[in-house]
Amino acid sequence: MQIQANQAGDKVSATVEAMAPGIDLAVLKLEDESFFDSHPALPRASTLPEIRESVIAYGYPKGGETLSVTKGIVSRIEFAAYSFSVAGLRIQIDAAVNPGNSGGPAVVGEKMIGLVFSHDGSAEKVSYIIPCEEIELFLHDIAGGHYEGKPAMYDYLQTLENPALRSFLKLDKSVEGMVVHTPDRTDADYPLKKWDFITRIGATPIDDQGMIKLGPNLSVRFQYLVQKIARDGKVPLTVVRAGKTLSIELPVSPSRPMVIGPLEGAYPAYFVYGPLVFSTASMEYVSGLGSSGGIRLLASMESPLIKRLTDKPAFKGEGLVVVSSPFFPHKLAKSYGNPASQVVKTINGIAIKNLHHLVEVLRDCKDEFIVIEFDGRGGETLVFARAELLAATDEILTDNGVRSQGSADTMAIWNAKAGE
């Protein structure tokens, strides 16, 4: 990468040292750090700004080449989702922010309160800042040389605002907190149970909407404190269960194992076999189907991509394998419909566990035919002559300019001997 100061004619080479894709932060290291002799860092605020405080946003949005400066106020501070699996503290401002502002500082007085990272294109003057508090957490995390991520709870909760629900749980009017609707795990060792009532996180009380006080004029979701007080992968909670008050240590972690997980910035693994391209289903893949109405089609087909979207793996290493694109043009696919987004259920009667297992099954198969069945309603069963698939693969790769039959991991399996 290269960086360039405002009004400067030269550029300085830089490398990416660390990334946190879920919260849109990264650290760059400059090849020539003498740059900072004439460009000292902005001091970072140690506290959150006040609502209605004036804020200035800097950046390089569309409309010109030089530094842009826009002014607004701090509109809102909340603990909200940054991405599917990551939440954090977020500051909303009403200063004009557009593509190109991302990564620029937002300043109150003489101090940076955070970095601009997005705006709401469907609303006027709704833009968001990653506050310094989140930046400090990120820098502390990567100080050991590796980004672990933000610990979080994954249990489903509900508020206690309904009076019938409070009566059902036999809770006194003075008791406030959140009800556990679905614990993340159901094993006997998991400390949270269905209908548990969470009243405190650490020493901080939780109200009936799941909020905690950060100051006289600021309340945020109580999960905000997980990232602040978690120690050794656990966070202390006070719960009421069957009328008794208990203190528990809840396991928390930066990620939740999912059968359809996020790529987290990695390239998707893939494998080409004849005119078919197989890949592991990911959150990014499923999200990409929504813009074309694909989600509705998958739902009508009862596809596992919808039915199992938030499921944990049923066994260690489970992953859904999809045909990730339409057929490569070839006579072997004659008369078959488009198999894109279909989830592979079996190959020659063998239930497919994950992409690596699929490659093993295809590698070790000695049958005359390859029979591929898909999971869900609809979708054809594909039958190919195995020898023809093998013979056609190199030709298909060449015709379509594909440099490798698979990603490095799948090719290591394909080229290994059975049993290795």
pLDDT tens digit string along 148-203? 899 999 999 999 889 999 898 888 888 899 999 999 998 999 999 999 999 999 99
How much is the average pLDDT of 41-63? 93
Q: Which two tokens stand for residue 231?
A: 């120690």
User: Is the confidence at residue 392, as pLDDT, over 90?
Assistant: yes
List all residues 6 or more positions away from 173 whose beta carbon is below 8 Å from its beta carbon.
166
Which bin fits 63, alpha (ψ -120 to 50), beta or left (φ > 0)? Answer: left
Q: Do 386 and 365 touch, CB atoms closer than 8 A?
A: yes
Amino acid at 379: G
What's the pLDDT at 66?
A: 86
> In whole angstroms, what separates CA 108 from the centre of its chain?
30
How much is the average pLDDT of 275-294? 86
User: Is the confidence at residue 346, as pLDDT, over 90?
Assistant: yes
List all residues 6 or more positions away from 384 whose beta carbon is below 8 Å from its beta carbon.
274, 332, 369, 370, 372
Domain ranges for the chain: 39-142, 156-251, 270-414
What's the pLDDT at 21?
A: 82
Q: Taking Cα atoms as reference points, which of 150, 62, 135 lies closest to residue 105?
A: 135
What CATH number has the domain spanning 156-251?
A: 2.30.42.60
Q: What is the pLDDT of residues 81-112, one digit of tens each?
A: 987 678 999 999 999 888 888 999 999 999 99
Q: Which two tokens stand for residue 44?
A: 């970072």
Q: Do 239 and 261 touch, CB atoms closer than 8 A?
A: no
What's the pLDDT at 278?
A: 98
Q: What is the pLDDT of residues 365-379, one digit of tens each?
A: 999 999 999 998 878
Q: What is the pLDDT of residues 213-247, one digit of tens each?
A: 988 889 999 999 999 999 999 999 999 998 899 99
Band (292; pLDDT cuts 50, 70, 90): low
**Into which CATH architecture does domain 270-414 fall?**
Alpha-Beta Barrel (3.20)
Q: What is the pLDDT of residues 1-20, one digit of tens each?
A: 999 888 887 899 999 999 99
How much is the average pLDDT of 115-144? 90
Percent pLDDT > 70 in the chain is 98
Q: Which two tokens stand for residue 143?
A: 């100080």
Q: Taking Cα atoms as reference points, which of 237, 219, 92 lies closest to residue 157?
A: 237
How much is the average pLDDT of 345-371? 97
Per-chain mean pLDDT for the chain: 92
Q: Do 100 and 80 touch, CB atoms closer than 8 A?
A: no
Q: Which two tokens stand for residue 26?
A: 């990264």
List all residues 6 or more positions away from 82 whose beta carbon is below 8 Å from its beta carbon.
22, 23, 24, 88, 90
What's the pLDDT at 419?
A: 57
Which bin fits 332, alpha (ψ -120 to 50), beta or left (φ > 0)? Answer: alpha
What's the pLDDT at 22?
A: 85
What's the pLDDT at 291?
A: 61
What's the pLDDT at 418?
A: 60
As a whole number of angstroms, the distance between CA 60 and CA 47 comes to: 26
What's the pLDDT at 177?
A: 95
Band (255; pLDDT cuts 50, 70, 90): confident
- Which residue, chain included where needed, has tokens 């813009």? 291
Helix/strand/coil (H, E, C) string of the chain?
A: CEECCCCCCCCEEEEEEEEEHHHCEEEEEECCCCHHHHCCCCCECCCCCCCCCEEEEEECCCCCCCCEEEEEEEEEEEEEECCCCCEEEEEEECCCCCCCCCCCEEEECCEEEEEEEEECCCCCCCEEEEEHHHHHHHHHHHCCCCCCCCCECCCEEEECCCHHHHHHCCCCCCCCCEEEEECCCCCCCCCCCCCCEEEEECCEECCCCCEEEEECCEEEEHHHHHHHHCECCEEEEEEEECCEEEEEEEECECCCCCCCCCCCCCCCCEEEECCEEEEECCHHHHHHHHHHCHHHHHHHCCCHHHHCCCCCCCCCCCCCEEECCCCCCCHHHCCCCCCCCCEEEEECCEECCCHHHHHHHHHHCCCCEEEEEEECCCCCCEEEEHHHHHHHHHHHHHHCCCCCCECHHHHHHHCCCCCC
For the domain made up of 39-142, give the CATH fold: Thrombin, subunit H (2.40.10)
Q: Which two tokens stand for residue 279?
A: 């890949």
What's the pLDDT at 271?
A: 98
Of 407 and 122, the structure prediction assigns the larger pLDDT to: 407
